[in-house]
Amino acid sequence: MVGLLRSHCNRADTAARLTALIVSARSQSVKRAASRPLQAARRPKKLPDADVEAVVAEYLAGRTMNDIARERNIHRTTIAAALERAGVAQRPKGMNAEQVDQAVEFYVSGLSLATVGSRLGFTARTIRAELLKRDVKMRPRPGW
């Protein structure tokens, strides 16, 4: 780029200053990068055995990994790793057939997707997707 400026510009002094500035910036960034200490990789938090037992009990009682993690202020994957080390199988994600049957029943009875979702512990979007898989006709949204 500097060469281009030199050949097409009457301001050789501007091109020279630009060249000096580029050289200076490059040398400073190399010095700065070399002076930074390397950080050790963060290790995931491992729960103490007493906490693992409590987490397992809560999970087996029906609580979700997200709820347990939120309450303990740790990441969901920490809970998942603790459950895996304890030999606890994870529950399948999404709605099971019984929950979908209930959702169909609630929706056909006149409840909104949001209400059905809150009763079953899923989002309205999840309820809608499962109902559509069962070929349930969606009602128009109010006001549309």
| Nearest alpha-carbon partner for 108 in 88, 81, 85, 135 | 135
d(CA 82, CA 126): 28
Domain spans of the chain?
A: 2-33, 49-85, 97-133
pLDDT tens for each residue of 89-130:
988 888 889 999 999 999 999 999 999 999 998 999 999 999
Question: What does pLDDT average to over the chain?
Answer: 84
pLDDT tens for each residue of 35-81:
666 676 666 667 888 889 999 999 999 888 989 999 999 999 999 99
d(CA 127, CA 115): 10
d(CA 67, CA 59): 9
Q: Are 89 and 60 in contact (CB under 8 A)?
A: no
d(CA 18, CA 23): 9
